[in-house]
Amino acid sequence: MVEALLGNRWGAAVLVSGFLQGLGVSVAFGLLRWRRFDVSAAMLGGVLAAVFEIAAYEWWSYYPDFSWTQKLVYLGCGMLSGAVIAGLGGFALVRALARAGAVNAFPVAQEARENALR
């Protein structure tokens, strides 16, 4: 948001991208009725974040001249990286931070403590 206010050339685009990615993750957790926050939920969030960002914005703003084959390959790669890097990687990072005590003020730390007692 600061970039947009300062007039950075990518400022508004970053806001749109962040909104769409966040919307994708919110839809994923909404589909799971905000009851599951495991690795599969994180991976689904990463996949839907990629779908919303790429199909709703990047195809039309950055790659309008791509063929549909190129667009679908790009979407597939985005979904794969969303699942692995954002979903699996993000889940692993949060767990590591919880074990280290860096996120003690958040529910994930309580969950990590409970799992350590089992």
pLDDT band with cut points at 50, 70 and 90 for residue 117:
low
Count of alpha carbons within 13 angstroms of residue 77, beta-carbon side: 6
pLDDT score, position 105: 86
**In sequence order, which residues have a C-beta less than 8 Å from that of residue 92 and are 6 or more positions away?**
none
Least confident span in 64-68, 75-79, 105-109? 105-109
pLDDT score, position 109: 79
pLDDT score, position 108: 79
**Cα 118 from Cα 114, distance rounded (Å):** 7
Tokens representing 14?
A: 């970053």
For range 6-31, the mean pLDDT? 89
Q: What is the pTM for the complete model shown?
A: 0.83
Closest CA to 56 of 20, 26, 25: 20
pLDDT score, position 118: 61
| The pLDDT of residue 112 is above 90 | no
| The pLDDT of residue 70 is above 90 | yes
Furthest-apart CA atoms within the chain: distance in Å: 55
pLDDT band with cut points at 50, 70 and 90 for residue 41:
very high
